[in-house]
A and B are shown apart, each in its own frame.
Chain A
Amino acid sequence: MNSLTNKLSDIQEQLKEYREILLANLVMIGEIPAPSFKEEDKIEFLLNRFKEAGISENSIDDCGNGIGVLSGSDGERSILINAHADTVFSSKVDHTMQVSADSITGPGVADNSLGLAVLATLPYLLKELDIELKSDLILLGGVRSLGRGDLEGIRFFLDNNEFDISEAICIEGVELGRLSYTSIGMLRGEITCRVPETYDWSRFGDASAILTLNEVINKINDIRLPKRPRTSVVMGSISGGSSFNTIAKEATLGFEVRSESEEVVDEVGRTIEDIAKEVSSKTGDDVELDIFARRKPGGIPYAHPLNRCCREIMGSLDIEPRLAPSTSELAALIDKNIPALTLGITKGSHIHKMNESISIDPIYKGLTQLIGTLIAIDGGQCD
């Protein structure tokens, strides 16, 4: 391990030579819109990059995932590197990326165009750095990950692939230092309140889907959550109504229940179901609960060799590990009992806004930690 950590500062320095290659990939990937379920163009770009890097084993699976296999010298082990291809932005949004001296700005640049750009550039970088792995490296650009995509892409791949994956790393554009190795229990859904079509409009002004939703929100807020296991309800988005002076006919809340315990998630889920029914019967409005994503808690322990090894690598690069559970692709890997980590590549700001931005300089460190972890896994240091 010591010899590896000594090598890392050289790798970090060498990587600077390939800045334009990575950033050009980032800009080109970032400018291709890819909302969940419409990632084809981005995946096609990724596959072209794989082909140019001489990866002959590359294909798009039935779900739309882009896959490339970089064969190792003995191929006894298969390591999966994954980055989700979708972003939260609609195709209608202007996806122009703007490059300044130290940052790149544009919708989706951090989540997750940078992650995908790293995936697209990795074969080139490994070749240029003369790093030849023994293990096969499976590069997966996963589709339908976010929101209603609900990890469909990676789950499809994991259910149908023929590789015997020993470890996996998920790449996210931000935040450098992120080290996720556990998945948290989660339930994600929407509550939509509607004023029924048969509503008696003579009841002037005292009905509104927004008021009904407000009632729902208050009741969810009143749910007593346990301190242990740690549990929270995130009310993440709200939409409804159409103008200042029209009664809102529809209002929707997007929420997520997160807990270290699967039972607590289920219990809070049932309580929210009851709330929906109760508010519906009291107000006469339709209150519809749609739960479209669930995760089970799990993961590898803090002391797992993969985890320990990665922390050592981060430490040697002066990266402060920020341990946080994840509900992203890591959860799908955990469900399949594959030891896996999620790593961030650089620092970012205004995530999920039009002026989403990433810093260029920390990328080298982020890349070095990724390559270092790969070498360590490949060398059996994480077994």
Chain B
Amino acid sequence: MIDLQKWIDENTYHHSQFWDLKKLVDKKEKLGLTISLCLPTLNEEKTIGKEVIIFKSELMNRYPLIDEIAVIDSGSDDNTLEVAKNYGADTYLAEDILPHLEPKQGKGENLWKAIHQLKGDIIVYVDADISNIHPRFVYGLVAPLIHREEVKYVKAFYDRPLAFSGSVRASGGGRVTEILVRPLFSLFFPELTAIIQPLSGEYAVRREVLEQIAFPIGYGVETSHLIDVHNKFGLEAFAQTDLDKRVHENKPTQALGKMSFGILQTFIKRAKALGILEKADHETILRQFQVAKDQYQQNKISIVEEERPPIIEIEEYRKKFGK
């Protein structure tokens, strides 16, 4: 396994490192790259207008970092598409892309079809339900791909404590990440625990990678990406950027249960295919995150689940109770 702390130190960014958009655009143009932004939607009329306006104004008109903004919709019954179109996004219904394929319902479907529909060498995916949208959600993810040729997949994480005292604090993802995905990765894919928020819905990826990986249609898409890209290209292909705070609607626990169920299915399918389920016994280190000063550190906790046998097997017990 590679030195994870070294990887974290070298591949973890903060969006403020890329504030100079002019410099970024110059480099992008020099490299001859094209970048597409994909916003997958389903009934997002409340937030989509603002996202399109901000990205179009800041990252197309002022600083031409992205070449197209596309909304790919799963069939909203509100005005999502009208609002997005009105502000200048290209709008598509997922079912109209590759129409001869049987349509499937789910965010993963939209992300996958975007690869066919959009033109960019890099595709940035940003969820459409973010209410504190800001250009950093795109440039923070695209910048490592522009600056470093070897990076292929940049994942967002959000880390801005509201109140914090002391020198070390816990960091990491949401409930599903910390309860399900991080323990699973610690067991089977310890290298992937270096990704601070494996489930974040914002990432920028090179086309050459996207065209080679399968897309679960539902909740498992982010998890599967990490496993597949890691399997094909190694951890070196990843980078991650802190985008500060992300404000969106909080999901109830039951919805998280559904999400976890989908993720587990995807996970088991891949773990089986890669033949790693048997390795479960070897890893007993849970890897969580903490921040000390400005450095993200892995907090390794050894959790060995020892067991006692049924007590009937103990001689003293049998003697005492005459069994």
Contact = CB atoms under 8 A, between A and B. Distances in A.
A99 B50 contact: yes
Contacts of B52: 20
Interface stretch (B80-88, B115-123, B265-273): B80-88
Contact of A101 (B57, B62, B79): B79
A100 B131 CA distance: 13
Interface string B31-71: 00000000000000111011011101110011000000000
Contact of A24 (B45, B46, B57): B57
Contacts of A18: 61
20 contacts: A18-B61, A19-B87, A20-B57, A20-B61, A21-B57, A21-B62, A23-B53, A24-B53, A24-B54, A27-B53, A27-B54, A28-B54, A28-B134, A96-B131, A98-B47, A99-B87, A100-B45, A100-B83, A101-B82, A101-B83
Q: Which range contains the number of A residues in contact with the other chain? A: 10 to 19
Interface string A79-121: 0000000000000000011111100000000000000000000
A48 to B, nearest CB: 10
Interface string A296-335: 0000000000000000000000000000000000000000
Main secondary structure of the interface of B (DSSP, over half): helix
B132 A96 contact: yes
B56 A31 contact: no
Interface string B239-279: 00000000100000000000000000000000000000000
Q: Which range contains the number of B residues in contact with the other chain? A: 20 to 34
A99 B62 CA distance: 20
B57 A97 contact: no
A98 B50 contact: yes
Contacts of A21: 57, 61-62
Given A25-B57, A97-B50, A100-B45, 14 more contacts: A21-B57, A21-B62, A23-B53, A23-B57, A23-B87, A24-B56, A24-B57, A27-B53, A28-B54, A96-B131, A98-B46, A98-B47, A98-B49, A99-B87
B86 A101 contact: yes
Contacts of A20: 52-53, 56-57, 61, 87-88
Contacts of B88: 20
B80 to A, nearest CB: 11
- Nearest 9 pairs of A and B residues by beta carbon: A24-B57, A99-B49, A20-B57, A99-B50, A20-B56, A21-B57, A101-B86, A23-B53, A24-B54
A99 B132 contact: no
Interface in A1-50: 18-21, 23-25, 27-28, 31
Contacts of A23: 53, 57, 87
A20 B132 CA distance: 17
A218 B83 CA distance: 51
Contacts of B132: 31, 96
